[in-house]
Structure 1
Amino acid sequence: MSDVAMSSSAGATIALSIHGPAGVLDLVVPAGATAVDVAREYARQADVPGIPLLQTALGERLNAALPLGEAGIQPGDVLVATTSVHRPRRVTLLQAAKNAPESPALAAMIAGVAALVAVLAGWYAARAGDDVVRTVTVGLLLVCSLVGVLPLGRHARQRASAAPAFAAAAAFAALYEPGVHLLPAILGAAGIAAAVVAGIGRAVSAGADEVSTVWIVSGLTVFACCAVPAMLGWDARVAWALLVFLAMMAARFAPSLAVNVPDEALLDLDRLAVTAWSARDGRRRGRRGRVVVAADAMERLVRRASRIVTGAAAAILVTVLVASPLLLQAATIDLDRIGARCLVFFAGCSLLLAARSYRHAAARVLLRLAGLGALVALAVHLVAGVGAGHVDTFFYVSVALGVVALAAAVATGRGWRSVWWSRRAEVAESLCGSLALASLVVAAGVFRRLWEMTS
């Protein structure tokens, strides 16, 4: 080797196989040797005129001044000695996309953005007033929804999760007519359209899709809450009040559905296991088997629960953000307006309190956004709607409650994570749910109707 200064110790060596014009040559070189040193040694032992260039097996040229150890060369690597530079093969954008690794998180984010764009497109087409624009938009949204549920290509699960949003936007754009009294029926049709497309995606998919189940349940619930009052001739605020209340209750029942273990996991007839937690591993090394839980079964259960909780939290967020402003706007009578404001307030507080019990980070954030969205809608209504004189009182009371909560949290040193705070939060959440149920009766007009009948 040449007398180039080595950056590593003499004991650190790298075994290499160099392919060149003279055949294959195995060398053991110091880790601090550069590509020029190795090429010169190869030329000397292989009796090759000149000093060849060294490249990796993928065609990347090695830096002549960089030691092999710092260049990422590992023992056993194969280098190519050549007199000309072989550049790596150019890869097109389509080939690079096909060879790219799976990225479910990025695909889910892109699918969510696409669903939001589809909703905005449907809203714009519905209010554009141009029949050509509406027809073209509805056709494109329907085609995208049907293509999205096909189990073909990569990230089929993420595309199927966003496809019902395209169908709902298409139904809204096709059926929208000016008039507040028709809005519940239009949203009910959009909900049943999303449920139908989600059902198609669930039917054609190879495995069970939990997000499609959430879409089906949410779409049917929206359809029932919006269609039944419209058919019975009730006011639109009944539908919005039901949606706000059911969204609040869904935050409590969604985790119980997520942790529902299938019967085949609870009872193993082959091993006579009572539950999944006492199932014995089939590979026994001795007379006494160890009580274990299969890792793949637990991974499937956790992934299934994660998808259900995240999908349910997203459905709650969308429902609250849409129904809360519509409820506050539809309540025009003084008594109904009080009930609507109380329902939105207690539902938002209940969602904020329910979010603390979620250990899934994404679902917890979505529920907090839903609760904050309801409170923001109430604040905007108090500022811009009827009864704006109560804004000062609402502001002072909110600030005072925030200061009291902050002082109590600082005093305990652990905030909502302590057992004492957890019990108080559970009581507060139950109280908010009870008050929201009582407010539902007033917001829907039932209390006022009974009062009018008996007076």
Structure 2
Amino acid sequence: MSDVAMSSPAGATIPLSIHGPAGVLDLVVPTGATPVDVAREYARQAAEVGDATGIPLLQTALGERLNAAVPLGEAGVQAGDVLVATTGVHRPRRVTLLEAAKNAPETPELASLIATVAALVAALAGWYAARTGEETVRTVAVALLLACALVGALPFGRHARQRAAAAPAFAAAAAFAALHEPGVHLLPAILGAAGISAAVVAGIGRALAVDGDEVSTVWIVSGLTVFACCALPAMLGWDARVAWTLLVLGSMMAARFAPSLAVDVPDDALLDLDRLAVTAWSARDSQRSGRRGRIVVSAAAMERLVRRASRIVTAAAAAILVTVVIASPLLLHSASIDLDRIGARCLVFFAGCSLLLAARSYRHSAARALLRLAGLGALTALAIHLVAGPGAGHVDTFFYVVVGLGVIALVAAVATGRGWRSVWWSRRAEVAESLCGSFAFASAVVAAGVFRRLWEMTS
């Protein structure tokens, strides 16, 4: 043990261990000593044992060189630290871009945003490949989309959950681009094939995942539902508007039942305190009637439940948004007869209003925003159809604009006054949502052509 002689207040010392070419040297140095002072002492001790070396450079145990002009106390050196004495030139280690990416912290929010953008780009690529007239471009695009879907479903690397959530979109785009043919009558079958393709890739990702993936489950249910709604009318020879009617109506109902399916507390997560308190003596006592049991859910189980329900509700709201935005314009476009057109317009209107009213009951901000976008998307499609669709010349555009502005002003006034949070407005909104759902069911019969077919059969 050696001391570095410097003037310093009593007790302001730092015991250190210096590792270098001459061996290990234990020193007790003042906090005001610089690395140069310590290095000189180490060189002097090394010369006494016959290992004459120059004044070395001091580094931390992690290889960071200490500034020679900064005292050890200010440099962050603490008692018991290990310093390394080296005679070579300190060169900082160069970190490659790949190593920096591996060492970067996890960013699930950014990864989710990138996965969403990638899914949208995949949809645009599938649409462009389906509309192009060159078979080479279509084949290459389909191969790339399918390869991206299969690679994204593999549970390897970072952000595997986000990649698995976007992989079914690539599969659906690939199926749409590969099977698309001109003709509106083939569109339900093509979308049904795209839905089953997305469900298959989601099933592969869910089977390979280490933990349960709720987003893949929503993909599977949504893909199978789209396939059933689109394939059944195609096989039975029904009109395409039957498929679009089922999709719009199913999306409206899914917004109502998705939270009840997501929030499901398993029985093994519940703890019965009364049963846990039973001992050999208390087990002989008869249970008193009317006793209230104490059931407690563990905090870890509740956190898992909330995270699982949040992912399910958000994924379901995103599926509803995509389905409504695609099916609503197709339903309005396929209704060519006046009676069916009236039913289609009423169905889209009441479904959009029902989605807007159902969003108020969601406490998850992302799911609530997605449902509101779905309702606004349906109403926007209806407004465009009324202005530019068949029979637009008979529609008083000014009347619709005034009514629309009045509804917007009413909603803004109520939202500004926080009226939706009051009991009175909550009851009125619940009644309005029920009425919109009932009217949507009635409109679906007309929009699908069932009412007109029965009328023709009886007349």
Q: TM-score range by the shorter chain?
A: 0.7 to 0.9
**2:43 equivalent to 1:39:** no
- Of residues 136, 153, 159, the one that matches 1:149 is 153
Q: State how 1:306-455 maps to structure 2 within 5 Å.
A: 306-388=310-392, 389-410=395-416, 413-455=417-459
The one-letter code of the counterpart of 2:344 is A
Q: Counterparts of 2:453 and 2:144 in 1: how far apart (Å)?
A: 46
Which of 123, 141, 144 in structure 2 is aligned with 1:140?
Answer: 144
Deviation by residue 1:193-247 (Cα, 9 ceiling, x = unmatched): 1112222222233332211111111011101111111122211111111111111
Checking the alignment, whether the CA contact within 8 Å between 1:328 and 1:337 is kept in structure 2 is yes
Which residue does 1:184 correspond to in 2?
188
Secondary structure in 1 matching 2:211:
coil
How far apart are residue 39 of structure 1 and its match?
2.1
Change in Cα spacing, 1:250 to 1:17, as seen in structure 2 (3 Å) is: farther
Contact in 1 for aligned 2:218/2:315 (Cα 8 Å) = yes
Residue among 155, 162, 167 paired with 1:158? 162
Say if 1:204 and 1:406 are closer, same or farther in 2 by CA, change over 3 A.
closer
- The residue identity in structure 2 corresponding to 1:199 is G
2:227 paired residue number: 223
* Residues 25 and 42 in structure 1, CA contact (< 8 A), matched pair in contact too: no
Question: 1:33-91, CA deviations, whole angstroms, 9 ceiling, x for partnerless residues?
Answer: 6xxx5224424654669986654443344567778788766776555565655233222
The answer for the alignment partner of 1:6 in structure 2 is none
Q: 1:96 to 1:438 in 2, by over 3 A?
A: same
**Separation (CA, whole Å) in 1 of partners of 2:369 and 2:75:** 43
Amino acid at match of 2:388: A
Amino acid at match of 2:173: A
The residue aligned with 1:261 is 265
Report the equivalent of 2:291: none
User: Which deviations, in whole Å up to 9, do the C-alpha atoms of 1:252-296 show, x marking residues without a partner?
Assistant: 111111111234335x7xxxx39xxx8969xxxxxxxx9753332
Is the contact made by 2:34 and 2:71 (CA closer than 8 Å) also made in structure 1? no
Distance 1:220 1:60, change over 3 A: same
Alignment of 1:161-310 (within 5 A): 161-266=165-270, 273=272, 292-310=296-314
With structure 2 as the length reference, what TM-score do the two structures score? 0.82
Deviations 1:118-147 (A, max 9, x none): 222211111111112222222222222222
Change (3 A) 1:228 1:14: farther
Decide whether aligned partners of structure 1 residues 62 and 39 sit closer, same or farther in structure 2, where only a CA change above 3 A counts: closer
**Which amino acid in structure 1 is aligned with residue 233 of structure 2?**
P
> Which stretch of structure 1 is more off in the superposition, 418-427 or 247-256?
418-427
Query: Residue 285 of structure 1 aligns with which residue?
Result: none
Determine the structure 1 residue equivalent to 2:98.
94
- The answer as to whether partners of 1:168 and 1:194 remain within 8 angstroms in 2 is yes
Calculate the aligned-residue CA RMSD, in Å. Answer: 3.3
Q: Deviation of residue 188 (structure 1)?
A: 0.6
Tell me the distance in 1 between the aligned counterparts of 2:198 and 2:228. 13
| Cα distance in 1 between the residues matched to 2:427 and 2:66 | 64
Q: Per the alignment, do residues 74 and 343 of structure 1 end up closer, same or farther by CA in structure 2, a change over 3 Å counting?
A: farther
Distance 1:138-1:428 versus aligned 2 partners, 3 A rule: same
Mapped partners of 2:77, 2:332: distance in 1:
67
Give distance in 1, aligned partners of 2:275 and 2:105: 35
Cα contact 2:251–2:323 (8 A) shared by 1: yes
**Count of residues in Structure 1 that have an aligned counterpart in Structure 2:** 429
Which structure 1 residue ranges, 5 or more long, are not aligned?
4-9, 282-289
- Which one of 132, 135, 140 corresponds to residue 131 of structure 1? 135
Take 1:380 and 1:401, find their aligned partners in 2: how far apart are those partners?
17
Deviation at 1:322, TM superposition (A): 0.7
| CA contact 1:43–1:50 (8 Å) conserved in 2 | no
Letter in 2 for 1:331: A
CA 1:279–1:401 in 2, change beyond 3 Å: closer, same or farther? farther
**What is the CA–CA distance in structure 1 between the aligned matches of 2:79 and 2:385, rounded to whole Å?**
70
CA distance in 1, matches of 2:170, 2:200: 12
Is the 1:61–1:85 contact (alpha carbons within 8 Å) kept by the matching residues of 2? no
Q: Aligned residue for 2:125? A: 121
Asked if structure 2 preserves the Cα contact closer than 8 Å seen for 1:14 and 1:28, the reply is: yes
Quick one: distance in 2 between partners of 1:327 and 1:65? 77
Which residue identity does 1:375 align to in structure 2? Answer: L
Contact 1:342 1:439 in 2 (8 A): yes
Encode CA deviations 1:77-124: one digit per residue, 9 max, x unaligned.
555565655233222222333333333222222222222222222111
How many Å separate the matches in 1 of 2:351 and 2:143?
37
1:348-401 deviation line (CA, Å, top 9, x unaligned): 121122112112222122112111211221222222222433332222112222
Structure whose CA Rg is larger: 2
The answer on whether the counterparts of 1:39 and 1:51 sit within 8 Å (CA) in structure 2 is no
Query: Relative to 1, partners in 2 of residues 1:143 and 1:44: Cα closer, same or farther, differing over 3 Å?
Result: closer
Change in CA separation of 1:200 and 1:28 when aligned onto 2, cut-off 3 Å: same
Cα separation, 1, equivalents of 2:90 and 2:149: 46
What do the CA deviations read for 1:420-441 (whole angstroms, capped 9, x no partner)?
3222222222222122112211
